[in-house]
Amino acid sequence: MSASPAQATPLPRLLVSVRDPAEAEAARLAGVDLVDAKDPERGALGALDTRTVREIVARVSGGAVTSAVAEPTPRDVAAMAASGVDWVKTGIGPAPRGDGAALAALAAAAPGRLIAVLFAEDGPAAALVPHLAEAGFAGAMIDTAGKRGARLPDLAAPADLAAFTAACRDNGLMSGLAGSLRVIDIPSLSAYAPDYLGFRGGLCRDFDRRNGIDPLRVAEALRALRPSRRDAA
């Protein structure tokens, strides 16, 4: 007997971007699955310094998976990997997309731990996924480069998001979707079965990603992602 669609589609886990050890600890205590270190004052992919990331990793203390943004050079990726973070995220803009050697050099700097961040503004991403897998990336996320206007659901067509997450599954890559998401987006984006949904601004006070994270909004997101789990209440 085949499983029902509801049983067959696992719910995504919650990624929340934090900027310092205090926010990291708050996110861990709230029950966030993945604590992602980045500087929200510096756009979509602002890298924190490795010392701050080490402190964040120490504060999370194994209570959640961790990731951190690094500039897209092998040197920066390797330095961030050495901070002890579980995953390193780096932006892959249009330029290196077709350059397999450049992608492989990045992936080799954090073997098995590098996540490509692709921007929705650059167009559909599914065709790039096999190249990322071949280069040695461990996962891929779509985010939005702009943080003051269009959100991911405004920029990416449903068919493109579905094709992206399917390509990640087919190629053995972890997948994530982000881009000024709100809790209300969780049901529709969960249908694409990404491994993670990523948030910052949508869980901050006044929905401003430069403000602090609002624990009540984190709890709301966890309830939406874990409707049957008592620990999300």
Ligand X SMILES: O=C[C@H](O)COP(=O)(O)O
Residues near ligand X (CB under 6 A) are 15, 17, 36, 38, 143, 147, 178-181, 198-202, 209
- Cβ–Cβ < 8 Å for 180, 152: yes
Closest listed residue to residue 216, CA positions, set 199, 233, 228: 233
Which residue, 55 or 143, has its beta carbon nearer to ligand X?
A: 143
Least distance to ligand X from the beta carbon of 8, Å? 26
- Kindly state the tokens that stand for 4: 């029902």
| Active-site residue list | 38, 89
Which helix (H) or strand (E) segment holds residue 78: the answer is helix 74-81
- Spatial distance between the Cα atoms of 51 and 192, rounded to a whole number of angstroms: 36
Pick the closest to residue 11 from 167, 215, 177, 181 (CA basis).
177
Nearer to ligand X, 5 or 149 (CB): 149
Are 30 and 199 in contact by the 8 Å Cβ rule? The answer is no
Task: Check residue 66 and report its DSSP letter.
Answer: E
Q: How far is the CB of 38 from ligand X (least distance, A)?
A: 6
Shortest distance, position 16 Cβ to ligand X, whole Å: 8
Counting every residue, how long is the chain? 233
DSSP per-residue letters across 93-121: -SGGGG-HHHHHHHHHTSTTTEEEEEEGG
How many beta carbons lie within 10 A of that of residue 204, not counting itself? Answer: 21
Cα torsion at 132, 135, 137, 139 (round to 10°)? 20
- Which CB sits closer to ligand X, 134 or 154? 154
For residue 3, the minimal CB distance to ligand X (Å) is 30
